[in-house]
């Protein structure tokens, strides 16, 4: 996209709010370890996970900044799931981004299913 005098900053970066921009990204899988169905998982593009992670870092949250790319899945226990849900709720009030709201709601839905489970309640797997 070329920058012209007619374009606003929002126009210039509008693709950041379009899910198709991330269609070819490596996927990140968020899953409830003991889920009985595929409803217990949520897939999102890696750059959108990174956006959530960086927002968590920027606000000095506790759980989100600990979940960085690793070759093995990262597991959260039940207490960490509860904290993650609080952090996702906080982030949802800090951003005005419909795409990010879809991501936050998807992660939160899986975290809700995982809370109350024993150790390794929620997994986050990077490709």
| Mean pLDDT of the 10-36 span | 90
Rounded Cα distance between 73 and 88, Å, is 20
- How far apart (Å, rounded) are the C-alpha atoms in residues 124 and 73? 5
Which CATH code for domain 25-126? 3.40.1760
Comparing 7-11, 66-70, 110-114, which segment has the lowest mean pLDDT?
7-11
Give the global pTM: 0.89
Token readout for 17 is: 């709010």
Q: Are 61 and 109 in contact (CB under 8 A)?
A: no
% of the chain beyond a pLDDT of 90: 70
Whether 42 and 109 have beta carbons less than 8 Å apart is answered as: yes
Contact in structure between 102 and 50 (CB atoms under 8 Å): no
């Amino acid at each position: 996209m070329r920058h012209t005098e007619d374009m606003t900053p929002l126009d210039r970066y509008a693709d950041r709010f379009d899910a198709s921009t991330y269609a070819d990204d490596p996927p990140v899988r968020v899953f409830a370890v003991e889920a009985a169905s595929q409803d217990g998982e949520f897939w999102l593009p890696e750059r959108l996970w990174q956006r959530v992670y960086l927002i968590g870092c920027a606000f000095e949250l506790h759980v989100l900044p600990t979940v960085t790319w690793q070759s093995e899945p990262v597991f959260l226990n039940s207490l960490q799931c509860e904290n993650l849900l609080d952090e996702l709720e906080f982030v949802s009030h800090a951003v005005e981004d419909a795409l990010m709201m879809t991501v936050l709601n998807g992660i939160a839905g899986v975290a809700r299913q995982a809370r109350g489970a024993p150790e390794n309640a929620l997994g986050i797997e990077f490709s």
